[in-house]
Each structure stands twice: as structure tokens, then as C-alpha cells.
Amino acid sequence: MSSSTTSTTATTIEISFPSQDKSFNLYGDLTLPSTASEKTPVPALLIVSGSGPIDRHGNASGFFTGITLNTHNQLAQQLLLFFEQNNSNNNSKRSVAVLAYDKRGVGKSQKEQDKDLYYQAGVQDLVSDAVQAVKYLVHHPSIDEGSIFVVGHSEGAILMPLIFQQVQQQHEELPSPLKGCIFLAGLGEDVVSAMDCQRQRLLEEVNAETGWKGWILRQVLTKQRLDKQYQNMYDEVDKHPDLDVISQYCGMSKIPAKWFREHQQYQTPPWDAITCHCLAITGCKDLQVRSKFCQLEASRSLLSGAASVESHTPPNLTHILRSFEGEPKLLALKSDYARMGTLPLDDELVNIIGMWCDRILAC
């Protein structure tokens, strides 16, 4: 269930911070509640995006060109509104800041004379960018450095163990550990397994289609063809172990070879290394990752070292954090996402995150 919501007291400013090697800057938006100041620093949530060329607003090009989701903007605005209403009801003054940034090679996060910056990025590059964003928040005068949460969506959730480890390892620059990790649509997954599951779901949908549409789809989308396409891509990556990017068809198509290669090596994330408070949410109508890892017993097993674990599987929640009535299909993914993109984020999702943050900050 969703409703239109906008915070009335927040300020959003553009910020930038350097990449780990200082060769370029990443740009993003920091949304601050009106209460944030040097005298009254506030907790902060850092959003780490999923896979693809995603900007600070939560929008992507490529397959999703022309679809406006604004997932990150909406999460910031709806969370701040949650705290405004919660404060009014409970005579509290708590609120949070939210930071989201353009991934490297996307939006303003560009490197001079390097048009392939996005395609060159591997797992470690994405992790180091997130850690740099944590550093920015730690040193911001209006942010409480001891109350920083990382919100990983999809691939961002998959990379969370590495982000947490690197923050811990850089204790001289980051003396305060992360307060919490929020896994949105990604706990327990790895990219390779998620892609395998998506192919299997697609084939099941194709086999279930009836009439002429079903017959045509079954001629085009066969298991053999999909598996061969997938294997050919990985064969191409393996054939060029020293290339970060593989250009095909006169440069019209590019494979992020380093990204695929490093994800192949990262199929067993060190989930048990995370020691902070954890919240995990994956919807039952998410077609891109599996919700089974957010069953409480499974999430506690994965996050065995966490200070606390809370997990949820909202019945109608999809991968883009909106609710969907009816049966979602991968075959209709683009049109469904375009329609859902006009809606605010799922109310249940925002309330779960807001109430959990409120409880953890009260500890």
C-alpha cells in the first residue's frame, strides 16, 4: 500500500567526495532535516545502489531508459516524513539525513577523458566508493559519526559484507563502527546465483504462456539459447583476463568484464563478519532475488555475528520497493516498473525502516 508523501522541512544539497585514488570525484545529494547542525548532528543513512548505471536519484539507463523510479529520492523524502510524523506523535526530536550518489561513470561522477569509467568498475571499486561516502558522512559537521547506517539495495546489499569489512579495517580514519546495515532485496544472494534464478523464472513463465504468444516465445526463449548466451558472455570474459571492458560490435556493446570476473570470485560473501545491528527486507513479489533468505531463521544464520537481526518479507513488495497487486512477471517487467515508478515507495517498507532505525538509535 502506498500514498503520496513529501517531507516539508528537509533540505537537499549537492555534495562531492573523492574516489579512493583521488583521480575523480563522486557527486550525490545529501538530504538533511531542519534539525541538523554542528550543535545537533543527526544520524545518517547512506544508500548503496544496485547493479547498472544508477544515478543519485535511483534511476538507470540501459534497459530501464525512459523509466523514472526515483527510488533514492523517495526513500529520503518518505523516511524524513516518517520521522516528522513520529516526532509529532511521540514528542520526539529524532530524524535522519540521507546520502545517495551517482555511481562512478554515471551522472556527474565522471573522470576526465575516460568514457568507460562505469564499464571499468569492478566489485572492489564499488565497495571503495561506498567506503569513501561513509568517510564523507563521518567528517560532515552536521552528521553524528557514531550513528551511520548503510542501506544496500540489490547489488548494494550483496556487497555489504565487504563494505562493512573495509570500514572496520580503516579504523584510523573511521574510528566509529557502522551503527547498522539495512539489506533491501539482496540478503543471502550473489550476482551469479541471482542471474541463474532469473533465467529459470523466465523459462517457467515462457512455458506457462498459452496461445500464439506462448508458442512464439518458446521458439525464441529456449533454455539452450539462454544458457548458451550466458556461457558465451562468460567465455568472452575468461578469454580476456586482463581486460576490464570488452567492446563488441564496433563499440556499440560493452561488457563490464572486470565486474563479471570479480562477482564470479565473490559467490561466498563473508556475511558472518558483520557485527552491527541488521535489518533485512525482501518482498515476496521480488522477481530478481529470492525472499527465502529473509525468513528469520535464515537471516540469523547468515548474519550470525550481528548485534541484532530483524527480517521481513512483505507480501506485495517488489524489487523496486513498490507494492504490486496481482502476479508479477519478468516478461512484463519493463511495463510494470514503468507503471509502478509513478507510485511512492511501499508504506510498509518505509514504516519498517523508520521504526527499526528509531529503536536502534534509542539503544
Mean pLDDT across the stretch 49-56? Answer: 95
pLDDT digits (tens, 9 = 90+) for 4-24: 345 557 899 999 999 999 999
Average pLDDT over residues 173-202: 93
Q: pLDDT digits over 66-86, tens only? A: 789 999 999 999 999 999 887
pLDDT at 91 (0 to 100): 61
Beta carbons within 10 angstroms of residue 64's beta carbon:
19
DSSP line for 34-88 = TT-SSSS-EEEEEEE--SSSB-TTS-B-GGGTT----HHHHHHHHHHHHHHHHHH
* In the block, residue with C-alpha cell 581486460: 243
The C-alpha atoms of residue 189 and residue 276 are separated, in whole angstroms, by: 19
Q: What is the pLDDT of residue 89?
A: 65
Phi, psi of 239 (to 5 degrees): -70, -25
What pLDDT is recorded for position 294? Answer: 96
Confidence at residue 180, expressed as pLDDT on a 0 to 100 scale: 97
pLDDT band at 249 (very low <50, low <70, confident <90, very high): low
Q: What is the mean pLDDT of residues 322-349?
A: 94
The answer to whether residues 20 and 132 touch, using CB atoms and an 8 Å cutoff, is yes
Give the per-residue pLDDT at 92: 66
Grid cell 549537492 in the structure block, residue: 14
Q: Are strands 10-18 and 25-33 parallel, antiparallel or unpaired?
A: antiparallel
Backbone angles phi, psi at 206, to 5 degrees: -60, -45
Please say if the pLDDT value at position 39 is more than 90.
Answer: yes
Binned at pLDDT 50, 70 and 90, residue 131 comes out as: very high
Contact present, 276 and 182 (Cβ < 8 Å): no
Least confident span in 84-93, 142-151, 216-225: 84-93
Residue in 308, 255, 246, 254 with CA at minimum distance from that of residue 280 = 308
Q: What order of strands is seen across the sheet that includes strand 143-153?
A: 10-18, 25-33, 97-101, 42-48, 143-153, 180-184, 277-281, 308-312
What pLDDT band is residue 177 in, cutting at 50, 70 and 90? confident
CB 295 within 8 A of CB 263: no
pLDDT at 4: 38
- Region 55-73: mean pLDDT is 86
- H or E element in which residue 160 lies: helix 160-169
pTM, entire model: 0.94
Give me the mean pLDDT over the 249-275 stretch.
86
**Considering the chain, what is the average pLDDT of its residues?**
92
Angle at the Cα of 64 (from 62 to 69), degrees rounded to 5?
A: 135
Contact criterion met (CB below 8 Å) for 166 and 131: yes
pLDDT in tens, 205-217: 999 999 999 999 9
